[in-house]
Amino acid sequence: MSSLLSIKNMSVNFDTPRGSLEAVRGVDIEIPAGMSVGVVGESGSGKTVMCRAAMGLLQGSTVNRTGTVIFDGHELTAMSKEQVRELFGSGMAMIFQDPLTALNPVRRIGVQLSEGLRVRLGMSKSDAMARSKELLELVRIPNAAAVLKSFPYQLSGGMRQRVMIAIAISCNPKLLFADEPTTALDVTVQAQILQLLRELREDLKMSMVLVTHDLGVVAGNTDYVAVMYAGEVVEYAPTKKLFADMRMPYTEALLNSIPRVDHKSGTRLTVIAGRLPDPTNRPVGCSFAPRCKYAQDKCTTDHPELKTDPDGHIYRCWFPIGESL
């Protein structure tokens, strides 16, 4: 199976007054063409930074990215900013968590939507506007002509997210990064947006990286899942396999902490004790060891490398679940 996006040993550090902050550490991940890959993990586990770094959207003198990112045959990490930019829109696109802050507050929807078409595809102003209207209809926005003339603050959250999706898919990207696209929306709208993304993905033959902290969203919308913890990918497997046969204790703990309706009322919610390790001062051994109920001495002294099962299931653990000790 060919990879559309292949990230090899990518690390991202931020220089902070307290020292170097390792947000992403040695991530290796392959996004197969045409597939949907979920990235899950707690807040602060590096999901968003990984996506933005993969596209090269992190800028500033305090950001250091190392490793290799290859997208569709282009080695992004060896290209200039201007060359990478050529791939945006028609190659890669991104939708963001909060559509209110990700849309420019002072520009009309039509201008923001047609801009990419004009800059990337070289459309004329009127063609781009006409296409923008079609795009709004494609993401099921009623009264598209009026919405084109609106400002973001005049739309509801769900509508804004639809507008953002329309912007992201406007140049027909091969890969869509969806960074928590439903987190800022209420539950009914969430379902509609996910449904829309599923349909668009099929129609446009688009691959997707779906970043979320909601395992329920992952289960229904992805072919593969990468679990991230403390800036590392700790488990990567086809979605069905991961849920049926997880190897990483962190994934198990994450699943156990989902509240369930069939629990008796009054049951305490399961939580993962402790907190994410300080990103400027990671543990020597396994990052999860301090919170892991299976942790042994080796876990606190030696950092586990990624292991790959014969069936392709990848995990980072000395004592994976299901292996006799």
Partner 1 sequence: MEKLKFWLQRVAQLFVVLLLVTFGVSLLVRIIPVDLATIVMPVADENQRAAFRASIGLNKGPIGYYLQWLGNFVQGDLGKIYYSGGTETVSGHLIKAMPRSLLLMAYTQIFALGIAIPLGVLSAYRAGRRADRVISNTLFIFSSIPGFAIGLILIIVVGTKLAWLPTLGYATYSEGIWEHFKHMIMPVLSLSFGLISQYTRLLRADMIASLREDYVTMAMSKGLSDRRILWQHVFRPSSITLFTSAALSMGGLIGGAIVIESIFATYGVGFEIFAAIGGRQYIMLQSSVAVIALFYVFFNLVVDIGSGFVDPRTRDRRTNV
- What is the binding site for partner 1 (CB under 8 A)? 52, 55, 57, 59, 61, 82, 85-89, 92-94, 96-98, 101-107, 115-116, 119-120, 151, 153-154, 164, 167-168
Of 10 and 168, which has the nearer Cβ to partner 1? Answer: 168
Please provide the DSSP assignment of 262-273 as one string: TSPTTPPPP---
Of 14 and 243, which has the nearer Cβ to partner 1? Answer: 14
**Amino acid identity, residue 190?**
Q
State in angstroms the smallest separation of the CB of 267 from partner 1: 38
State in angstroms the smallest separation of the CB of 168 from partner 1: 8
Task: Find where tokens 């084109």 sit.
Answer: 148
Task: Report CA-CA distances (Å) from 101 to 176, 193, 229.
Answer: 19, 18, 27
From 215, 224, 212, 128, select the one nearest 177 (Cα to Cα). Answer: 212
Of 23 and 254, which has the nearer Cβ to partner 1? Answer: 23
In three-state secondary structure terms, 144 is helix
State in angstroms the smallest separation of the CB of 31 from partner 1: 17
Task: Find where tokens 């993962």 sit.
Answer: 272
Burial class (CB within 10 angstroms; exposed 0-12, middle 13-18, buried 19+) of 241: middle
State in angstroms the smallest separation of the CB of 21 from partner 1: 17
Q: How far apart are CA 11 and CA 19, in angstroms?
A: 16
Of 71 and 88, which has the nearer Cβ to partner 1? Answer: 88
Residue 71 near residue 30 (C-beta atoms within 8 A): no
Of 89 and 158, which has the nearer Cβ to partner 1? Answer: 89
State in angstroms the smallest separation of the CB of 248 from partner 1: 31
* Residue 262, token pair as written in the block: 């069939």
